[in-house]
Structure 1
């Protein structure tokens, strides 16, 4: 210091470690202001293959339970389907890839495409083999793509996790990184901003997974049970169209929203609009033909856009609430809790769906309306949790 209120004469500059992959990546980012499309491609492939094993199941789950004759009556198919999905739920490192990667009618290939697949072929004898085979091939490609993913974590020989400030190095004010990191890892559960973001993430993950389970079962169930009577191919087309729209939305529209209004306002708006949209779903069973297909595609697209808005906002809030070296542990906690909620959601949704089909003429409300009302209640709880005293905005965003 040169006097009262004077600023330091030295200008802070970054010191990079030659053999640290984190420093190497940070220097590359600062030197190039263009978007790293190639790195994004590798991440997209890896996330695609992590989402596909679960997401591809939903379009044909109803028919698989029926063909295996697990359920004694048609109304029980949803009950058993609810217990199949959680058996394969896995933890995701990221939620970049969503429902847009559904299997597009490639189950039952000998039935759907008899000119291409014979009944005596392996695809005819094992009708649900083709989706799994395609996913396995893509997963092999993801393993190769992971080789080129750059390491972003700082690994210094002196165990400092971030690029060191030159002034701090001269002052001797830098903290011992190992002790500092350990103390902060223990305090992550006390980080109110992080835990509020994780709570929102878990609640809406429960909602999204339950919605996907219910939509897939409801859309293919019989008209006499107030379903839409779709085929697995119809469901795949609806989800694929929605997915393409969500992809465009995530790349072109959401970044502008987040830039000008931040993540929390679109988050709340999406939650409210999602509630209003889901309230219209039970009445779509009264529609037929082209009118039904157009409206269900529009509704599915909007619902998935709202879900993408909420999920991305949750990820932004979580990553902003902690420092770089804490993100691994924070995301580990988040994904573990989220996976528990995602594992519970299909079972609960399947039980509710089976109950709804057995109570089409309820005294209070028809079964399918109560079904979507329960989904909306989860969204209402999540929406309430975005306000004080439950929610706390991370310091960098205040």
Structure 2
């Protein structure tokens, strides 16, 4: 009997009845091996929320043109920037709220609500008939889709310590893949009556709403994810600089270099984001992770909201200075982006970034 008592841990965890966090901790203690099911669940949920963010950019210019809101062709970039920013603006205003809701009522309800919002408002965006409907549906999509912060907290909590980095890297990987697949879907499926007249007539639904098909496909995927969710348990600066010069190429060399540069940039971004996720989620207790991730999402969303609007304005301005001596045309756009990247690099040094100590 004395030997058995000696084998018991000196500080034994105490669990409470009807405590969701306690149930998660008990589940982690009993599980061994690689948590494949949980990894797949997180992957598809994050993919679901990242696809709508970037899928509109290949056809956004043509969508704004068809709305006939821009008086001049040069002004299309301004309006496109506002539509692109509206999603992140909405997310910036509500991320802390959704983080608090996730802490109070659980991660799962917030995640399910977020996927449902993708189904509804992404579909409505594809059916937009004017600029104001488009910007409103994108704003509501960003406001009501608050699952990214809770899913990061969930990824930290559901895995044992040895698998936490893998869980958070799954979030980053799925996010990056969504940002790659999204534009591909948008570009391939937009305006189907013009691209594939043998399959879609101009009098069909997809002929009357030329940007509905890519949104519909993403919404159907989000619906499947919603149903499945009920069963849940920086090298960056030189790469960015090269983009404006790569654009001077053509043909196979252009396609090869732009894809290689994009892959390298995404790999570096995923590595950085994963490290930041680990620092952020280990810096607070479990009952504060939803709110902490919500605050982080608010800050990120604010900058991403300003990005498309500011980028659209800078791009439109750059087109008017093609013959300038100092960084003409698009080179000025990438110069400004590199300045922002450099500021980010400087902020990784002490005393701005202090490593967390347990």
TM-score calculated relative to the size of structure 1? 0.63
Corresponding residue number in structure 1 for 2:113: none
Which one of 186, 196, 199 corresponds to residue 113 of structure 1?
A: 196
Shift of 1:298: 0.7
Structure 1, gaps ≥5 residues long? 1-8, 151-270
Shift of 1:57: 1.0
Q: Distance in 2 between matches of 1:282 and 1:73?
A: 25
Shift of 1:391: 0.9
Shift of 1:44: 2.1
> Which residues of 2 match residues 39-50 of structure 1 at below 5 A?
39-50=38-49
Shift of 1:340: 1.6
Q: Distance in 2 between matches of 1:88 and 1:114?
A: 32
Shift of 1:13: 2.4
Q: Distance in 2 between matches of 1:19 and 1:35?
A: 27
Which one of 289, 298, 308 corresponds to residue 346 of structure 1?
A: 308
Shift of 1:75: 2.9
Which one of 212, 230, 234 corresponds to residue 147 of structure 1?
A: 230
Q: Distance in 2 between matches of 1:23 and 1:100?
A: 37
Corresponding residue number in structure 1 for 2:254: 292
Corresponding residue number in structure 1 for 2:57: 58
Contact between 1:78 and 1:354, CA under 8 Å: does it hold in 2? yes
> Which residues of 2 match residues 189-208 of structure 1 at below 5 A?
none
Q: Distance in 1 between matches of 2:180 and 2:241?
A: 23
Corresponding residue number in structure 1 for 2:287: 325
Corresponding residue number in structure 2 for 1:12: 11
Which one of 194, 208, 217 corresponds to residue 134 of structure 1?
A: 217
Question: Normalized per residue, which structure has more helix?
Answer: 2
Corresponding residue number in structure 2 for 1:102: 182
Contact between 2:52 and 2:182, CA under 8 Å: does it hold in 1? no
Corresponding residue number in structure 1 for 2:31: 32
Structure 2, gaps ≥5 residues long? 1-7, 89-141, 153-170
Shift of 1:10: 6.8
Corresponding residue number in structure 1 for 2:350: 388
Which one of 288, 293, 296 corresponds to residue 334 of structure 1?
A: 296
Contact between 1:62 and 1:77, CA under 8 Å: does it hold in 2? yes
Q: Distance in 1 between matches of 2:255 and 2:66?
A: 26
Deviations 1:309-342 (A, max 9, x none): 2222221111121122221221121112222221
SS of residue matched to 2:247: helix
Shift of 1:18: 5.3
TM-score calculated relative to the size of structure 2? 0.70
How many pairs align?
A: 269
> Which residues of 2 match residues 263-278 of structure 1 at below 5 A?
271=234, 273-278=235-240
Shift of 1:56: 1.0
Q: Distance in 1 between matches of 2:287 and 2:47?
A: 26
Corresponding residue number in structure 1 for 2:331: 369
Contact between 1:117 and 1:124, CA under 8 Å: does it hold in 2? yes
1:358 aligns to 2:357 (yes or no): no
Shift of 1:114: 1.8
1:378 aligns to 2:340 (yes or no): yes
CA gap 1:73/1:285 in 2 versus in 1, 3 angstroms = farther
Corresponding residue number in structure 2 for 1:70: 69
Shift of 1:363: 2.6
Deviations 1:171-212 (A, max 9, x none): xxxxxxxxxxxxxxxxxxxxxxxxxxxxxxxxxxxxxxxxxx
User: RMSD of the TM alignment (CA)?
Assistant: 2.2
Shift of 1:42: 2.1
Contact between 2:327 and 2:335, CA under 8 Å: does it hold in 1? no
Q: Distance in 1 between matches of 2:277 and 2:210?
A: 38
Contact between 2:81 and 2:309, CA under 8 Å: does it hold in 1? yes
